[in-house]
Amino acid sequence: MARLRLGDIAPNFTQDSSEGPIDFYQWAGNSWVVLFSHPADFTPVCTTELGKTAALSGEFAKRGVKPIAVSVDPVGKHHEWIADINDTQKTTVDFPILADADRKVADLYDMIHPNASTTATVRSVFIIDPKHVLRTTFTYPASTGRNFDEILRVIDSLQLTDSHKVATPANWKDGDDVVIVPSIQDPAELAERFPKGFNAVRPYLRVTPQPNK
C-alpha cells in the first residue's frame, strides 16, 4: 500500500467500532473528520488524548468536525477503556473508537512503520475534508501527547483559506492578520476581496485583517 499524501482521497472502509459497524464515508457525511490512531487500549498518553477530544466536543462540533479514533483492540476492550477514560479524565467519550483488530484501517492509512514497530500503529492524525481529501497529517512518538490546540488551529486555517484567497502566517490563530495569496494581483479584485485594505510589506508579502472577522 502506497503511503497517503496530502491531496489524496482518504480510503473508505467498513470496520467495527465502539458504536457499531461503521462505513467511513457514510459516517463522515458532509463533515470534516479527524481520524487519529492509538497503538492499544489502556495506554496512558492516549487515555489523556481521548479524554481531551471528548472535552473539546463543542469545539469540534462548531467547526463541523467529527472525531474518530482507531485502536487494534476489540470492541469489548474499547468499552472498558471508555469507562476508564470517562472516570479518569472527568468527561464523556461521545465519538467512536474503531476496533481495528485485523489492521485493515492501519494498513489503508499506513499507520504501521516498521522502524518504529513491526506490529503497533504509530500515533497519527489525519484531517480529512468533506470531499474525503486528506488535508493534513501529524505523526507523534509514543512519549509525546498530541497538541489539540494545534489540531484545531490547523482546521481553522484550512477552513478559512478554503473560503478566502489568503494563507495563514507563522503562529497564526483565529482572528489574527493573514496574508494575501500571490496569485491575486488585479487592483479591482484586491479592493473587492479585501475592503479593509492591506499592508504591502513586500510585493509578495501583503498582510490584511482576517476577511471573515
**Helix 44-55 and helix 148-163: axis angle, to 10°?**
50
Which amino acid is residue 210, in one-letter code?
Q
**CB hemisphere CA count around 50 (13 angstroms):** 33
Catalytic site includes residue 192: no
Who contacts 20 (Cβ-Cβ below 8 Å, separation ≥6)? Answer: none
Which one of 46, 65, 72, 85 is the catalytic residue? 46
Is 151 in contact with 33 (CB distance < 8 Å)?
no
Is 136 strand, coil or helix? strand
Whole-number CA gyration radius for the chain: 19
Which stretches of 72-193 are DSSP H helices? 75-89, 104-108, 148-163, 187-193
Place of cell 479593509: 196
Task: List the catalytic residues.
Answer: 46
